[in-house]
């Protein structure tokens, strides 16, 4: 296996020194607000950013308009994500007019897009700091530099990416903790921009992951969610990921989940792990993207419909109650009505608990963006609606089948809709709401499922 490109501890110490230097500046921002867009990877990065900003002496400000420093952690996976980020940034210009000391930072996947940082610098000169996905750990240095000179700092690195250990963090939740196991993606699915903005695959050492998980357990973590664009290629693939799960299972983490799995790399060892690991939850997010072989080929997914269905069959053979969820793209360039029907029939066949459905969005620099696309936007909208209707009916049936069961639920939130109710997840991943108080958050309780709604279950404490 290739050696892991690790950022040196000297570099991290240097950044810690910058955190101290910023803390000592009188006219520095006193409070911060982070807007985290996109996937869990970004959410996890935001926890690291929050940790660094707090080390610099800033306090979290929940109201965006009142913060001295606003940081956008952006996503660009689809055009609407990018538009949302840019729309937000433009709005900040107004805010800065009234508050000249406001510091505006923009980073994440969008700024890492080719040419984007330069364009933003020119068009939005009121942004004080633009950085990318590969140099997040240098934020302290950049913030220090800006505060010294009050000149915009723009730095986006063009590298394959590194692994960074030892940065501070401020976690959103203790009971459910997200843990990165790898970064980047080598798959280059033809529609996807992620490999261009997140760099090449690189894995953390199992010892570092184990240490982090052990510390989280000490702090009261009940559920660990392992993160990677394709966890199945952890340390190059094969049995490595299943081995990591085994190590973490032995640590006694009450609940283990992970995302995301690529069907082409899902190993026999991982399937076996579903059969015998006590703490591995019976739920799996396994994006299929399409049900037609020709579309899958053009997407460069490197599996076909039969392979996907076979995986589903084998997973259910070892863990019959496993809940499967998926991502599906509708309207890939040139997708015919018959090819779309193959996606519909696959959805009928697999019966996902939930599926995230997206209309294909061309991303500059990807292969699919160059493919002719004669299907109209109206046609694509009509197709996705049919798919959503089908999936909703299936999801509702899956929820109804849970009624009458008793489930162990990890309580994670106070219900916003029903006063006096809390919510949490069953092992399979279904959300259940039931009467209870906020003290239950972070605890396991037994709940009897009494009814099913459109997307969630209702129950009562046993």
**Residue 61 binds to ligand SF4 (criterion: CB under 6 A):** no
Which tokens sit at 402?
């849970």
Specify the residue, 99 or 114, whose C-beta has the smaller distance to ligand SF4: 114
**Residue 396 binds to ligand SAH (criterion: CB under 6 A):** no
Which tokens sit at 95?
């805010």
Of 194, 231, 281, 375, the one binding ligand SF4 by CB under 6 A: 194
Q: Longest C-alpha distance within the chain, in Å? A: 65
**Residue 109 binds to ligand F3S (criterion: CB under 6 A):** yes
Three-class DSSP category at 15? helix
DSSP 235-300: GGSTTHHHHHHHHHHHHT-SEEEEE---GGG--HHHHHHHHH-TTB-SEEE---B-S-HHHHHHTT
Binder of residue 190, out of ligand F3S, ligand SF4, ligand SAH, none (CB less than 5 to 8 A by kind):
none
Interacting positions 177-216 with ligand F3S (CB under 6 A): 194, 197-198
Segment contacting ligand F3S by CB under 6 A, of 75-83, 94-102, 162-170, 446-454: 75-83
Specify the residue, 108 or 423, whose C-beta has the smaller distance to ligand F3S: 108
Residues forming beta bridges with residue 183, ordered by sequence position: 202
**Residue 190 binds to ligand SF4 (criterion: CB under 6 A):** no
- Work out the burial of residue 220: count CB atoms within 10 Å of its CB; fewer than 13 is exposed, 13-18 middle, 19 or more buried: exposed
Segment contacting ligand F3S by CB under 6 A, of 72-80, 140-148, 422-430, 453-461: 72-80
**Nearest distance from C-beta of residue 270 to ligand SF4, angstroms:** 16
Q: Please state, in angstroms and rounded to a whole number, the distance separating the CA atoms of residues 324 and 269.
A: 18
Binder of residue 138, out of ligand SAH, ligand F3S, ligand SF4, none (CB less than 5 to 8 A by kind):
none
Phi, psi of 405 (to 5 degrees): -80, 155
What mask of x and - would describe binding to ligand SAH in positions 339 to 378, judged by CB under 6 A?
-------------------x-xx-x---------------
**Residue 76 binds to ligand F3S (criterion: CB under 6 A):** yes
User: In which residue are the tokens 């010294």 written?
Assistant: 148
Q: Please state, in angstroms and rounded to a whole number, the distance separating the CA atoms of residues 205 and 342.
A: 40
**Residue 286 binds to ligand SF4 (criterion: CB under 6 A):** no
Query: Considering only CA atoms, which of 357, 362, 373 is closest in space to residue 80?
Result: 362
Binder of residue 358, out of ligand F3S, ligand SF4, ligand SAH, none (CB less than 5 to 8 A by kind):
ligand SAH
Cβ 413 vs Cβ 423: under 8 Å: yes
Footprint on this chain of ligand SAH (rule: CB under 6 A): 77-78, 191-192, 194, 229-230, 260, 262, 287, 289, 327, 329, 358, 360-361, 363
Footprint on this chain of ligand SF4 (rule: CB under 6 A): 185, 187-189, 192, 194-195, 229-230, 262
């Amino acid at each position: 296996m290739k050696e892991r490109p690790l950022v040196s501890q000297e570099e991290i110490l240097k950044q810690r020194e910058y955190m101290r230097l910023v803390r000592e500046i009188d006219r520095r921002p006193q409070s911060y607000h982070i807007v985290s867009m996109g996937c869990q990877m970004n959410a996890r990065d935001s926890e690291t950013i929050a940790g660094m900003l707090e080390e610099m002496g800033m306090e979290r400000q929940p109201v965006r308009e009142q913060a001295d420093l606003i940081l956008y952690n952006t996503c660009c996976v689809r055009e609407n994500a990018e538009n949302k980020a840019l729309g937000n940034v433009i709005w900040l210009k107004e805010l800065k007019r009234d508050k000249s000391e406001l510091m505006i930072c923009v980073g994440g996947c969008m700024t890492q897009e080719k040419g984007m940082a330069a364009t933003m610098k020119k068009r939005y000169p009121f942004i004080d700091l633009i950085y990318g996905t590969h140099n997040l750990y240098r934020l302290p240095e950049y913030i220090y530099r800006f505060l010294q000179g009050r000149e915009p700092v723009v730095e986006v690195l063009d590298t394959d990416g590194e692994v960074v250990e030892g940065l501070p963090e401020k976690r959103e939740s203790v009971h459910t903790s997200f843990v990165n196991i790898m970064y980047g993606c080598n798959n280059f699915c033809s529609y996807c921009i992620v490999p261009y903005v997140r760099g090449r695959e690189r894995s953390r050492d199992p010892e570092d992951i184990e240490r982090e998980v052990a510390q989280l357990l000490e702090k009261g973590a009940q559920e660990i969610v392992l993160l990677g664009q394709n966890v199945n290629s952890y340390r190059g693939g094969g049995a490595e990921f299943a081995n990591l799960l085994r190590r973490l299972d032995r640590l006694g983490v009450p609940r283990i989940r992970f995302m995301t799995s690529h069907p082409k790399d899902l190993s026999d060892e991982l399937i076996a792990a579903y059969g015998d690991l006590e703490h591995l939850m019976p739920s799996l997010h396994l994006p299929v993207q399409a049900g037609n072989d020709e579309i899958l080929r053009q997407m460069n997914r490197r599996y076909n419909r039969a392979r996907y269905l076979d995986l589903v069959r084998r997973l259910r053979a070892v863990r019959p109650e496993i809940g499967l969820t998926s991502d599906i793209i509708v309207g890939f360039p040139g997708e015919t009505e018959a090819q779309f029907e193959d996606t519909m029939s696959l959805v009928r066949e697999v019966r996902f608990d939930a599926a995230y459905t997206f209309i294909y969005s061309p991303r500059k620099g990807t292969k699919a963006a160059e493919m002719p696309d004669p299907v109209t936007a109206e046609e694509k909208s009509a197709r996705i609606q049919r798919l959503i209707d089908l999936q909703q009916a299936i999801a509702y049936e899956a929820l109804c089948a849970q009624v009458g069961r008793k489930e162990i639920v990890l309580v994670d939130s106070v219900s916003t809709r029903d006063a006096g109710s809390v919510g949490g997840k069953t092992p399979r991943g279904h959300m259940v709401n039931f009467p209870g108080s906020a003290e239950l958050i972070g605890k396991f309780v037994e709940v009897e499922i009494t009814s099913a709604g459109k997307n969630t279950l209702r129950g009562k404490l046993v």
